Amino acid sequence: MIDWLTDPLAFGATTRALIEIAILGTVGAAVGCWVILYRLSYSAESLAHGLFPGLVGAALLGLPILLGGAAGVLLAAALIALVNRFATDDADTATAVVVTTLFGLGVLLALSPESPPGISELLFGDLLGTTDSEIIASAAFAAPVIVLLWLLHSRLLAVGFDQGSGPALGVSPGLMTGLVLSLVAVTVLIGVQALGNLLVAAILVGPAAAARLLTDRFRPMMMLSVVFALLAGLAGIYISFHAKIAAGAAVAGCLVMIYLLAAAASAVAERSFGRTSLNQ
């Protein structure tokens, strides 16, 4: 048993992966709580998938992945905002068309003869290939996100619970929603190198959704969300090491398992004790 726990730590790749998933899990779980509160899960997934052409373009041009991802996020956000402005009656459908088009464009670019080896890592990530520089970059991006969430907690909370109260408190609901989406975009950029374009949304939505099933108070929800993300990251990396499977997929699978367990526990608690509305 001791060897099972210590063997992965003898490899630098596994240690770096654990550090990276700890950073990503903490910031992703924290931002994810606001995604759930503001009902932006679909938008978060859309941003994650919509940046794929930027990632592939950066790989084809030999540019940093983060730079391509940033360009992809800006393009996806601009197009989503544009179609939502002119398709207010069916905004979700318009958003789906944009995201599908962008993702398809990324796939076409990835299939070009000039595509470098390892392009599939943009889809599924390479958690065990995390480098020291990527860890530093992740920490540098994550720290401001956490600080902003802490500084703006009360304003975000007020608008999240009642958008109509925002103007009375001197807070713009549109501005707060835009801020949450901006933090989502930054978090996606942090996680896309480790978990890939297809799996990064899991770290944003999964832990927070599971935590929401188990508590009606926001602060405990955020703490539970972080704990779930860290547990899934740790378990996923150990399973990946011992079962010889992809680390990102193992982490995502653990997140799904945690959500299912939380759903089962919530169903039992609701039947026995009932639930109250979410409050601070």
Residue 81: domain span: 2-273
Residue 188 domain-assigned (yes or no):
yes
Interatomic CA distance for residues 55 and 200, integer angstroms:
13
pTM flag (> 0.85): no
Q: CA angle, 260 as apex, 256 and 263 as ends, to 5°?
A: 135
Q: Tell whether 27 is covered by a domain.
A: yes
Residue 167 has a pLDDT of: 65
d(CA 188, CA 200): 6
Does residue 189 lie within any of the structural domains? yes
Does 279 map to a domain?
no
Q: What is the pLDDT along the chain (280 residues), one digit of tens a residue?
A: 677 777 777 788 899 999 999 999 999 999 999 999 888 888 788 877 788 888 888 888 888 877 888 888 888 777 776 776 665 556 667 778 888 888 888 888 877 776 666 666 777 778 888 889 889 989 998 999 999 999 988 888 888 776 666 666 667 777 888 888 888 888 888 888 788 777 888 898 999 999 999 988 889 999 999 999 999 999 999 999 888 888 888 999 999 999 999 999 988 877 776 654 444 4
What residues are paired with 217 via a beta bridge? 279
Tell me if 278 is assigned to some domain.
Answer: no
Model pLDDT, residue 84: 64
pLDDT of residue 196: 79
The predicted structure's pLDDT at residue 154: 85
Residue 280: inside a domain? no
Q: Structure tokens of 272?
A: 């026995």
Task: Please report the DSSP string for 85-123 in residue order.
Answer: HH-GGGHHHHHHHHHHHHHHHHHHHHTSTTPPTTTTHHH
If 0-12 CB within 10 Å is exposed, 13-18 middle and 19+ buried, where does residue 232 land? buried
Q: What is the CATH number of the domain that holds 113?
A: 1.10.3470.10
Assess contact for 277 and 47: CB atoms under 8 A.
no
The answer to the question of residue 99 being in a domain is: yes
Task: Answer whether 50's CB lies under 8 Å from 68's CB.
Answer: no
Overall number of domains in the chain: 1
